[in-house]
């Protein structure tokens, strides 16, 4: 992994998304946009972190042994989806919601379980914390 400026930009994008989520009114356009932007930044940073590991399995092993890493995978399951559509009243919809079942395939739903029912802002804080630490470990 390289380009510390790009990595810092992605971490800042997550921070900005968290701040926007926290400041916006739940259900507003700004809230929806902040969720989608933060989810995109998490996914892009996750891809950079993954590339820094010696192999794909090494990343998944590391992520799967840390509750915050598992939340990163939950957010990443939303890649290519409008993440804000799976949020209601400041939290991720439960995995058995018909909206979730219609939006995600079985693999994505299994990963989504890690964030279902949790607060959106806190989930992004957890993901940011994990990814910030993983950036430092991935190249070693």
CA atoms of 114 and 75, how far apart (whole Å):
8
Contact 72, 127 (CB under 8 A): yes
pLDDT value, residue 2: 57
pLDDT value, residue 139: 47
**What is the total residue count of the chain?**
140
Nearest Cα neighbor of 49 from 39, 59, 57 is 59
pLDDT value, residue 135: 82
pLDDT value, residue 140: 43
119 CA to centre of own chain: 12
Distances (CA, A) of 75 to 4, 5, 28, 72: 23, 23, 20, 5
pLDDT value, residue 54: 85
Give the sign of the dihedral formed by CA 38, CA 43, CA 45, CA 49.
positive
pLDDT value, residue 35: 98
pLDDT tens digits in sequence order for the chain, 140 residues long: 458 888 889 999 999 999 999 999 999 999 999 999 999 999 999 999 998 888 879 999 999 999 999 999 999 999 999 999 999 999 999 999 999 999 999 999 999 999 999 999 999 999 999 999 988 755 44
């Amino acid at each position: 992994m390289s380009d510390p400026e790009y990595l810092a930009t992605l971490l800042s994008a997550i921070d900005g998304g968290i701040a926007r989520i926290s400041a916006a009114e739940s259900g507003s356009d700004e809230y929806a946009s902040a969720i989608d932007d933060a989810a995109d930044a998490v996914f892009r940073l996750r891809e950079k972190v993954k590339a820094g590991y010696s192999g794909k399995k090494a990343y998944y092993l590391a992520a799967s042994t840390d509750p915050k890493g598992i939340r990163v995978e939950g957010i990443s399951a939303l890649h290519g989806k409008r993440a804000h559509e799976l949020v209601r009243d400041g939290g991720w919809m439960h995995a058995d919601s018909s909206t979730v079942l219609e939006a995600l395939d079985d693999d994505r739903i299994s990963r989504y379980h890690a964030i279902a029912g949790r607060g959106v802002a806190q989930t992004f804080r957890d993901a940011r914390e994990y990814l910030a630490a993983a950036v430092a470990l991935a190249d070693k």
